Amino acid sequence: MKKYLWIPLLGLGVSATAQTGTKTYLLDEAPRYSEETGYGYDLVETPAKDSKSPFFFSVRVPDGNYKVTVRLGSRKQAGITTVRAESRRLFIESVPTKKKEFIERTFIVNKRNTHIDGNEYVRIKPREKRKLNWDDKLTLEFNGSVPVCESITIEPADTTVTTVFLCGNSTVVDQDNEPWASWGQMIPYFFDTNVCIANYAESGESANTFIAAGRLKKALSQMKKGDYLFMEFGHNDQKQKGPGKGAYYSFMTSLKTFIDEARLRGAHPVLVTPTQRRSFGPDGHIRDTHEDYPEAMRWLAEKENVPLIDLNEMTRTLYEAMGVEPSKRAFVHYPAGSYPGQTQDFADNTHFNPYGAYEIARCIVEGLKTQVPDLARHLKPFPTFDPAHPDNPDNFHWDDSPFTEIEKPDGN
């Protein structure tokens, strides 16, 4: 028989199941987050009664995968709620609830910090120190036109959950702030609760610098048999010049390290060719700007018998289908004044906005179906996507998070 504890904190309560480590947090009674409580409202003001503003809720937990169940709804008002976690990873999108109606949704979140083992830590960049992905808390963002949530239940995920580790650069990373986004933070939305996405990608990284910073070692320390290791590099690797550098030289050596280390642990490596830049020729077709790096990845995939998702070709099709000018709507192209502190136009042809990131995540989903079918079994039943027929951006809905960034991510 399960034992339940009621722990009073500042006159408030947390319901805890002793045997499983499950805790339920009632939001109406929750305090502000502090080191003393270890849970509570965080980052922005605590929502007032009948508020329509986004809010955040954090809980201090160790590294690992967590099963999160949110009870969406309110006895006081109808709502439409979106839920993201950590650095804007999308899990729940625009769920409507009537007044006094409640809907429970469950998803799996990966939580990590920089500690590897002993005195060894991931060597993160100064601007990463502000990222929610690297702190000691699991943070949930409640957004939407009227975000409403009655309670949050958090428990350690079952050890049978498959973890998919993402390694890459700014086209993969969880971008914390608007208007930047990547496919890595959209892809959790497409999986059921048998899979957890652990996105270790970081802006500006190449395959060798990713290893040198300890990012791969950190991922490997959390990896188990049956997990997956995805690698998308090339944007920054191609800029490395000098003796021993090149697509078929140092780049191959680094990728082979990823592959061998994953297999050593019984995990499955997957190669992903780099997303195309938005670089059109006078004929209206995308120009190849990655030199021989995509082809080198195709060669390595065949030689090492590793599944390959050819995102390079899929995004070529996607951008050309959108067209020269309309494709700007998938990238960070915004006139000055669109975001606080933005004094100059954004005209970035490498980094995506949420719409572009979502479209590329849909490309990844289709690649999984053909190249990684065992993992694709855990995809939710979304309609088939054809990059030659992109979604209409006018039909894409995204509620901006409260935080913005006018400095572009590292890399291009």
Average pLDDT, the chain: 94
Averaged pLDDT for residues 34-43: 97
Q: Whole-angstrom Cα distance, residue 98 to residue 309?
A: 41
pLDDT band at 10 (very low <50, low <70, confident <90, very high): very low
pLDDT tens digits, 248-264: 999 999 999 999 999 99
Give 47 or 9, the one with higher predicted confidence: 47
Share of the chain above pLDDT 90, in %: 92
Confidence of residue 48 (pLDDT cuts 50, 70, 90): confident
CA separation for the pair 361, 230 (Å, rounded) = 13
Locus of tokens 């191609």: 238
CA atoms within 13 A on the CB side of 323: 4
Residue 340 confidence (pLDDT) above 60? yes
Query: Which pLDDT band holds residue 15 (cuts at 50, 70, 90)?
Result: low
- Distance CA(138)–CA(112), nearest Å, equals 9
Task: Read off the pLDDT of each residue in 57-71 and give the average, rounded to a whole number.
Answer: 98
Instruction: Give percent above pLDDT 70 in the chain.
Output: 95
Asked if pLDDT for residue 27 goes beyond 50, the answer is yes
pLDDT of residue 410: 87
What was the pLDDT predicted at 85?
A: 99
**What is the mean predicted confidence (pLDDT) over 17-30?**
82
Local confidence band at 343 (pLDDT 50, 70, 90 cut-offs)? very high
Q: Across the strands, what pairs with 60?
A: 137
> What integer pLDDT is reported at residue 237 of this predicted model?
85
* More confident: 291 or 14: 291
Eight-class DSSP state of 171 = T
pLDDT of residue 3 exceeding 80, the answer is no
Strands (E), 132-262: 137-146, 149-156, 162-168, 195-199, 228-232
12, pLDDT greater than 80 = no
The architecture (CATH level 2) of 12-157 comes to Sandwich (2.60)
CA dist 92 and 254 (Å) reads 36
Give phi and psi for 106, each to the nearest 5: -125, 140
pLDDT of 8 over the 90 cut: no
Residue 6 pLDDT more than 90? no
Task: Give the model's pLDDT for residue 223.
Answer: 98
Domain residue spans in the chain? 12-157, 158-412
Residue 28 pLDDT more than 50? yes
Q: Is the pLDDT reported for residue 17 higher than 70? A: no
The answer to whether the pTM exceeds 0.85 is yes
Alpha carbons 276 and 170: distance in angstroms, whole number: 13
pLDDT at 377 (0 to 100): 98
pLDDT tens track for 84-110: 999 999 999 999 999 999 999 999 999
State which fold the 158-412 domain adopts.
Rossmann fold (3.40.50)
Greater confidence (236 vs 6) lies with 236
Tokens of 387: 């990059």
In which band, very low, low, confident or very high, does the pLDDT at 50 lie, cut at 50, 70 and 90? confident
Mean pLDDT in residue range 39-63:
94
306-332: b or e for each residue (b if 16 or more CB lie within 10 Å)? Answer: bbbbbbbbbbbbbbbebeeeebbbbbb
Please answer whether residues 11 and 2 qualify as being in contact, where contact means their C-beta atoms are separated by less than 8 angstroms: no
Residue in the block written with tokens 């019984």: 266
pLDDT in tens, 348-404: 999 999 999 999 999 999 999 999 999 999 999 999 999 999 999 999 999 999 999
Token pair 């319901």 is found at 15
Q: What's the pLDDT score for residue 5?
A: 36
CA dist., res. 402 & res. 409, Å (int): 18
The partner residues of 84 in beta bridges, in order of sequence, read: 90, 141
Length of the chain: 412
